[in-house]
Amino acid sequence: MADESIERVPRSVVRVRLRQVRDGRVRFAVERIRGPADVWQAVRGYYAGADREILSALYLDARHAPVCFHVIAVGSRNAAHAAPADVLKPALLANASALVLVHNHPSGDPEPSAEDVALTASVRRACELLGLHLLDHLVVVDDGFVSLGERGLL
């Protein structure tokens, strides 16, 4: 039995406020994403010549117009790691309805790895729980891309 003479002191917790911090602008040549080629067109300048893997997402409104571009992780020459929460937090803050994952392979080979497929599956499951739509995951290189969606890997 607990000693009732011990006085409980109310514990305080930190109150937080979330807000999106805008970090400049990225110009896109497309107004609405209709397919993977539009995504590649929109982000290829950002990835041109990158010497390490960069995982980003293009967040879209309900009409698939870009509302936010966010770099989620910058990795090494052959890996960039992130958890689904790292991908989806910016989507929620931007009030996005859909998103497209994008990362590059500095090797120049756009073939998706087993890790790429696993990340796609975990982000897709998390999106379903939050009512978001994962449209695609692109692996980009300087002269093209591979769409995991077109490969049936979503």
Domain presence at residue 151:
no
**Which range of residues forms the domain containing residue 94?**
42-74+83-108+131-139
Q: Please check whether residue 48 lies inside any domain of the structure.
A: yes
Residue 20 lies in a domain: no
Kindly state the tokens that stand for 97: 């309805």
Q: CB–CB of 115/148 below 8 Å?
A: no
Note the pLDDT tens digit of each residue in 65-115: 999 999 999 999 888 999 999 999 999 999 999 999 999 999 999 999 999
In a domain, 98, yes or no: yes
Locus of tokens 């110009």:
27
pLDDT tens-digit readout, 51-63: 999 999 999 999 9
Query: Is residue 69 one of the residues assigned to a domain?
Result: yes
Position 94 in a domain: yes
Q: Hey, what are 113's tokens? A: 């790895």
pLDDT in tens, 111-154: 999 999 999 999 999 999 999 999 999 999 999 999 999 999 99
Please indicate, yes or no, if residue 28 is contained in any of the structural domains: no
Q: CA 154, CA 144: separation in Å to the nearest integer? A: 19
Which CATH number does the domain housing residue 92 bear? 3.40.140.10
| pTM of the predicted protein model | 0.85
Q: How many Cα neighbours within 13 Å face the side chain of 50? A: 26
Alpha helices in 1-148 (DSSP H): 36-47, 84-93, 114-130
Of 94, 83, 39, give the one whose Cα is nearest residue 61.
94
How many domains are contained in the chain?
A: 1
100 pairs with which residues across the strands?
Answer: 58, 136
